[in-house]
Each structure stands twice: as C-alpha cells, then as structure tokens.
Amino acid sequence: MTTIFAQDSANQRMEGPEDSLGLWPGFDENLTQWKYRLVGFYPGWRMDMEWFRHNCAFNTLWVPGPVFSIRETRVWIWAGTGEVPVNSPDF
C-alpha cells in the first residue's frame, strides 16, 4: 500500500467527505457536493462523472510513480483491507 499523489478529477482541491472520491467513515456515498449541492451550477451535466471520464475510470498517480485507472463501482470497501467503510481502516 502506498500514498496517492494526484487524481484526475474536476475538483482541484478535495478537502472533505462531500467533494472527494474516497468514502469517509460515517458516509455511504461520495462526491455528494457535486451530486446535490452544486448541481444547479451545472444544469444537464453530471459533474460527479468528471471523476470517471476515462472510459468509466479515473486515473490515479501513486507516489512511487505508476498511474492506474480505477473503475467506478457502487460497492465501497477500504482499498487494501476489504473492510466495509464504517470506521477508519485498520492498517
């Protein structure tokens, strides 16, 4: 497991549970800021799909240097542990 350096998305600064791709503890959905609160600024456009604009996947640059495309999914688990995101992951 390593650290994400950058992710290709519509948001230049993802700073919380409502605008980031990662699912935070206590939340059952991601990108809610783009799906609900800011949707009026982009009529007719699904801004949440801007994260998955590369063949239904988003590109992630990891600290060691490789880039991986991660596909959209509706099933959320903590990457690397397989745990359901109820609490912070146990590493």
Is pTM, for the whole model, over 0.75?
A: no
Query: In three state form, how does the secondary structure of the chain look?
Result: CCCEEEECCCCCCCCCCCCCCCCCCCCCCCCHHHHHHCHHHCCCCCHHHHHHCCCCEEEEEECCCCEEEEECCCCCCCCCCCCCCCCCCCC
pLDDT of residue 89: 44
Q: Tens digit of pLDDT per residue, the chain (91 long)?
A: 467 788 788 887 777 788 877 777 778 788 888 889 999 999 998 888 888 888 888 888 888 888 888 777 655 545 545 555 555 444 4
